[in-house]
Amino acid sequence: MKFPDIERVTFDPDIMGGKPCIRGMRVTVGTITGLVASGISFKDILKLYPYLEEDDIKAALTYAAWRTEEYDLSLQAS
């Protein structure tokens, strides 16, 4: 099984306010996951954003799934 290259997800404070984007472009992980969640097919997303690749969509979904598993721990001074 080949896993998506999560390094396709980039962060730059000068692009989309530092939100996670795909390969430094102005397409956020949130945009892609929102489209998929709305039932838009990979094929149709690639028509809407012809500069994306299928692996970009898979990387966005992988990143989003990984982020849902993270949680913050409160640290108390001792």
Dihedral sign for Cα 23, 27, 28, 34, please: negative
Q: What is the pLDDT of residue 66?
A: 87
Q: What is the pLDDT of residues 17-40, one digit of tens each?
A: 999 999 999 999 999 999 999 999
Q: Is 73 exposed, middle or buried (0-12, 13-18, 19+ CB in 10 A)?
A: exposed
Q: What is the pLDDT of residue 72?
A: 64
Average the pLDDT over each of 13-22, 54-63, 69-78 and give the range with the smallest value: 69-78
Apex CA 36: angle with CA 61 and CA 12, to 5°?
50
Element (H, E) at 32: helix 29-37
Asked if pLDDT for residue 5 goes beyond 90, the answer is: no
Look up the pTM and report it. 0.83
List domains and CATH numbers for the chain: 6-65 (1.10.10.10)
